[in-house]
């Protein structure tokens, strides 16, 4: 895989409109003890370590990726978690765009290291990237449903 291809594949961005306040959605996201409620089922073995760190495995076809993330408190414009210990997921950023008292547009960006090697260069665009994207979409959908119902 060329450097340009790897750079192109290293970011996934998805968004959703939620009929709830940005503050409520933010509170749900920073309460890592409840992350299992809104993470998609492909995020497995969730472990929360303190109020700012968590880990999980992401089940992809023919591959499982481990991720260990810690909140970047220096980030003030968005809620950002950065990868630790060289896992495939390098950063997960949630950006909030308040559109009304009970309307927020939420964008999530994931930065990751694509699988390498000959097999990785074949599987990344065909299987892994689409499944990563779907995992983020499923997560946003669960978050939207829970937030709008106030659960």
pLDDT tens-digit readout, 104-150? 999 999 999 888 888 888 888 888 899 999 999 999 999 999 999 98
61 CB-contact burial (10 Å; exposed 0-12 / middle 13-18 / buried 19+): exposed
Task: Specify the pLDDT at position 137.
Answer: 97
Ordered domains of the chain (ranges, CATH): 3-149 (3.30.530.20)
Higher pLDDT, 103 or 120: 103
Task: Specify the pLDDT at position 88.
Answer: 86
Mean pLDDT across the stretch 9-24? Answer: 92
pLDDT tens-digit readout, 33-84? 999 999 999 999 999 998 999 999 999 998 899 999 999 999 888 999 999 8
Would the pLDDT of 6 be above 80?
no
Asked if 112 contacts 90 with a C-beta cutoff of 8 angstroms, the reply is yes
Torsion, Cα of 25, 28, 32, 33 (10° steps): -170
As given in the structure block, the two tokens for residue 123 are 């599987």
Find tokens 């509170």 and name the residue.
27
CA–CA separation, 110 and 123 (whole Å)? 18
Q: Cα 129 to the chain's mean position, in Å? A: 13
CA–CA separation, 115 and 42 (whole Å)? 18
Asked if 9 contacts 123 with a C-beta cutoff of 8 angstroms, the reply is no
């Amino acid at each position: 895989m060329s450097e340009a291809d790897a750079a192109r594949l290293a970011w996934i961005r998805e968004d959703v409109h939620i009929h709830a306040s940005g503050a409520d959605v933010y509170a749900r996201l920073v309460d890592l003890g409840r992350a299992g409620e809104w993470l998609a089922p492909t995020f497995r073995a969730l472990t929360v370590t303190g109020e700012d760190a968590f880990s999980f495995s992401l089940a992809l076809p023919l591959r499982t990726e481990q991720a260990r993330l810690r909140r970047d408190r220096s980030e003030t414009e968005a809620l950002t978690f950065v990868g630790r210990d060289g896992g495939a997921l390098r950063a997960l950023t949630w950006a909030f765009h308040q559109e009304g008292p009970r309307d927020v547009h939420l964008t999530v960006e994931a930065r990751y290291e694509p699988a390498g090697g000959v097999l990785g260069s074949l599987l990344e665009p065909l299987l892994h990237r689409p499944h990563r994207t779907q995992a983020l979409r499923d997560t946003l959908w669960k978050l939207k449903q829970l937030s709008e119902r106030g659960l």
